[in-house]
Amino acid sequence: MDLEKYIIASDVELIALAAKGDDHAFEHLFMRYNEAIRHLFEQRLGDKDLANDLMQETFIKVYLHLADYSENYTFGQWIYTIARNTLVDHLRRRPDDVSIDSKFIAPIATTPSPEESVIINQRTAHFEASLNEIPEDYRKIIEMRFLEEYSYEEIAEKLGRPLNTIKTQIRRAKAAVCKIILDKE
């Protein structure tokens, strides 16, 4: 597809292409929404680095769950919901007295159909295959964070490294994985 066709394509068209493995389509979706999602996190948290981390985490989730998208909502509404849930998850992991209910009320989760489960498993396999292309140290941190669901603090403790070092390494590892995914055709 020519570049200009991606630029003028609707979100629904880009989602359909991305769901079929067109990484350029996903890249254009990313370019359309990454600033708004980053800004959402910056507004709520006041921390640019953390906002970038959560924005990247949101787009990894979007990539892995593209098959779950329903045209009953705009893509903007759907990605905002994923971002909101990512923020809620982050706030739950944070050991302070921030009331989750005062920030957001999470929507009721639905279970995927068997077909959607197959697609999710394929996307997960694609994501995990991308992990084999990054350095071992980054792969271990990504696995701990996203597959084993350790908090930043738990990873720092288990690896015996400073928390800020772990945050930086996770951000770099996520960027490396995203680049590999977007570079594949």
As a whole number, the mean pLDDT across the chain is 81
Number of domains present in the structure of the chain: 1
Tell me: the pLDDT tens digits for 90-145? 888 866 554 555 555 555 545 666 666 666 667 777 777 777 888 888 889 888 88
Q: C-alpha angle with apex 9: 5 to 86, nearest 5 degrees? A: 130
Question: Following DSSP, what letter does each residue of 77-131 receive, concatenated?
Answer: HHHHHHHHHHHHHHHHHS-S---HHHH--PPPP-PPPHHHHHHHHHHHHHHHHHH
CATH number at residue 54: 1.10.1740.10
Q: Which residue has the higher pLDDT, 22 or 112?
A: 22
- In this prediction, residue 8 has a pLDDT band, given cuts at 50, 70 and 90, of confident
Tell me: the pLDDT tens digits for 39-73? 989 988 888 899 999 999 998 998 888 888 888 88
What pLDDT shows up at residue 100?
54
Please say whether the beta carbons of 90 and 73 come within 8 A.
no
Query: Can you read off the two tokens belonging to residue 176?
Result: 């490396």
- How large is the average pLDDT for residues 153-159? 91
What sign has the CA pseudo-torsion 160, 163, 167, 168?
Answer: negative
**Cα–Cα distance, 113 to 166 (Å, whole number):** 36
Q: Which residue has the higher pLDDT, 157 or 1?
A: 157
What pLDDT shows up at residue 58?
92
What pLDDT shows up at residue 118?
64
Query: Can you read off the two tokens belonging to residue 83?
Result: 């971002």
- The residue with tokens 């930043």 is 152
**Cα–Cα distance, 23 to 130 (Å, whole number):** 13
What pLDDT shows up at residue 116?
63
Please say whether the beta carbons of 134 and 142 come within 8 A.
yes
- How large is the average pLDDT for residues 76-82? 89
What sign has the CA pseudo-torsion 3, 7, 10, 16?
Answer: positive
| Residue range of the domain that includes 101 | 3-183
**Cα–Cα distance, 159 to 161 (Å, whole number):** 6
